């Protein structure tokens, strides 16, 4: 019963997406909070010694005082809270979503020029390669020069986005870039941040017992702090990727990889502004940079006017019924139910959605995976009709 299978697949999709959002909110929330703490701790006002700093806050009907101890904590308390499940859950549910939405429906969503199988392999491979390259970069001499490191990392990510754009459909390319960044972030937690914290705890326990410190073999607390800072800069770009899937004009742009690079950079700048502000360093100079970059992106991405004679509905209608209604119909043949309840059976329905149709068809996002085999001529005709219909008074 394919309809029942589709229904259950929808549930799996919904539950994974819900979980992904919940865990992601918890993870990024914790990342924001701890970076905020780190940036905002100040020497205690009462001149107390032996701590790195403290911060007072008021929230939800109480005052809170957080104290930062750094590496020499003295005696550790009985219960110490760790933060990792939110990271692992976010990643696992994210990979689950990639599988349910993209990899298992590769014909529709991974219809790249190499065919669905190799396209999925490239998508999966990118997640691992991204981490390996990033980790090597972190261990290279370049890591000692934060600015050069940042520029190199950014350039490598742009190259990755460009490469994925050559092989994956644009929407899949975006979400897989999200996967690449998310994998780097979670691997930072798993391979560096948590082990570094383990060694910090071990060192504290040994110090408490009066035992001499063991030579450090794995990642140090400093490594953990640095990777944690990298993760902090990744948060806004990755969140943009997550919401971008609702905006075909971003990923569907001919230069979608460049749009991603530019918008991601603005996210990094905004994060930087907040980090500088928290530390009490000058940050206002960055605000015009972020605003100017944002405006430049909006102007550069403005849709081009479609030139040529206007196309009548009579010429567009057969294209819509051949290439769109196999899915967008009350009783579709290529899809279990009309996707998003979006139906294109009448002129009125098409006209009402002309602007959306223009974006989706122009950017080659629709027909999905070109499963209905639309030709380039048909695409041009339908876009011309939609351009006219969406600007008609």
Decide whether 18 or 33 has the Cβ nearer to ligand HEC. 18
Tell me the two tokens of residue 315: 């010429």
| Contact characters 55-94, ligand HEC, x per CB under 6 A | ----------------------------------------
Pick from 372, 381, 383, 389 the residue near ligand HEC by CB under 6 A.
Answer: 372
Tokens of 291: 């605003």
Going by C-alpha positions, the residue among 151, 178, 153, 148 that lies closest to residue 164 is 178
Token output for 342: 């979006």
Residues contacting ligand HEC: total by CB under 6 A: 23
The reply to whether 368 sits near ligand HEC by the rule CB under 6 A is: yes
16 near ligand HEC, judged by CB under 6 A:
no
User: Of residues 139-178, which lie at the interface with ligand HEC (CB under 6 A)?
Assistant: none
316 binds ligand HEC (CB under 6 A): no
Site string for ligand HEC, 97-116 (x = CB under 6 A): -----------x--------
230 is a site residue for ligand HEC (CB under 6 A): no
CA distance 59 to 361: 48
Q: Which residues contact 267 (CB under 8 A, 6 or more apart)?
A: 235, 236, 237, 239, 240
Residue 392 CA to residue 200 CA, distance in Å, equals 66
| Smallest separation, CB 315 to ligand HEC (Å) | 14
Would you count residue 17 as binding ligand HEC (CB under 6 A)? no
Are 163 and 130 in contact by the 8 Å Cβ rule? The answer is: no
- 250: how many CB neighbours lie within 10 A of its CB? 22
The 10 Å CB-count burial string (b at 16+, else e) for 93-125 is: bbbbbbebbbbebbebbbbbeeebeebbebbbe
Residue whose C-alpha is closest to residue 384's, from 361, 352, 353? 361
Q: Is the distance from CB of 329 to CB of 338 less than 8 angstroms?
A: yes
Region 330-359 residues binding ligand HEC, contact defined as CB under 6 A: 334-335, 339-340, 342, 353, 356-357
In whole angstroms, the minimum distance from the beta carbon of 109 to ligand HEC comes to 8
Instruction: Choose which of 360, 363, 388, 389 interacts with ligand HEC (CB under 6 A).
Output: 360
Choosing from 328, 343, 381, 389, the residue that interacts with ligand HEC (CB under 6 A) is 328
Nearest to 201 by CA among 51, 50, 73, 92: 73
**Binding residues vs ligand HEC (CB under 6 A):** 108, 323-324, 326-328, 334-335, 339-340, 342, 353, 356-357, 360-361, 366-368, 371-372, 374, 382
């Amino acid at each position: 019963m394919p309809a029942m299978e589709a229904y259950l697949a929808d549930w799996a999709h919904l539950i994974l997406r819900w979980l992904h959002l919940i865990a992601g909110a918890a993870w990024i929330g914790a990342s924001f909070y701890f970076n905020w703490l780190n940036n905002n701790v100040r020497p205690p006002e009462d001149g107390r010694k032996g701590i790195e700093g403290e911060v007072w806050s008021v929230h939800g009907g109480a005052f809170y005082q957080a104290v930062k101890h750094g590496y020499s904590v003295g005696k550790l308390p009985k219960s110490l809270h760790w933060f990792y499940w939110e990271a692992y859950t976010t990643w696992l549910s994210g990979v689950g979503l990639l599988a349910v939405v993209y990899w298992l429906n590769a014909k529709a969503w991974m219809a790249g020029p190499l065919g669905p199988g190799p396209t999925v392999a490239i998508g999966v491979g990118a997640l691992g390669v991204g981490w390996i390259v990033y980790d090597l970069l972190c261990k290279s001499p370049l890591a000692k020069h934060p600015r050069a490191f940042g520029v190199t990392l950014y350039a490598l990510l742009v190259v990755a986005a460009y490469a994925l754009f050559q092989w994956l459909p644009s929407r899949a390319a975006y979400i897989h870039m999200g996967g690449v960044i998310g994998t780097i972030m979670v691997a930072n937690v798993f391979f560096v941040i948590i082990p570094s914290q383990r060694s910090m705890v071990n060192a504290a326990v040994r110090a408490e017992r009066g035992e001499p410190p063991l030579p450090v073999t794995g990642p140090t607390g400093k490594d953990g702090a640095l990777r944690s800072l990298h993760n902090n800069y990744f948060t806004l770009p990755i969140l943009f990727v997550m919401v971008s899937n609702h905006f075909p004009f971003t990923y569907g742009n001919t230069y979608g990889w460049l749009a991603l690079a530019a918008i991601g950079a603005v996210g990094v700048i905004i994060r930087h502004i907040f980090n500088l502000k928290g530390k009490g360093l000058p940050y206002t100079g960055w605000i015009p940079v972020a605003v100017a970059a944002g405006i430049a992106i909006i102007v550069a991405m403005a849709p081009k006017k479609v030139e040529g004679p206007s196309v009548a509905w009579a010429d567009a209608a057969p294209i819509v019924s051949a290439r769109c209604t196999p899915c967008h119909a009350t009783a579709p043949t290529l899809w279990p139910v009309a996707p998003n309840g979006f139906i294109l059976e009448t002129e009125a329905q098409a006209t009402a959605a002309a602007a959306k149709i223009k974006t989706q068809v122009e950017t080659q996002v629709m027909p999905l995976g070109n499963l209905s085999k639309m030709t380039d001529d048909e695409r041009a005709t339908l876009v011309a009709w939609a351009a006219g219909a969406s600007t008609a008074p």
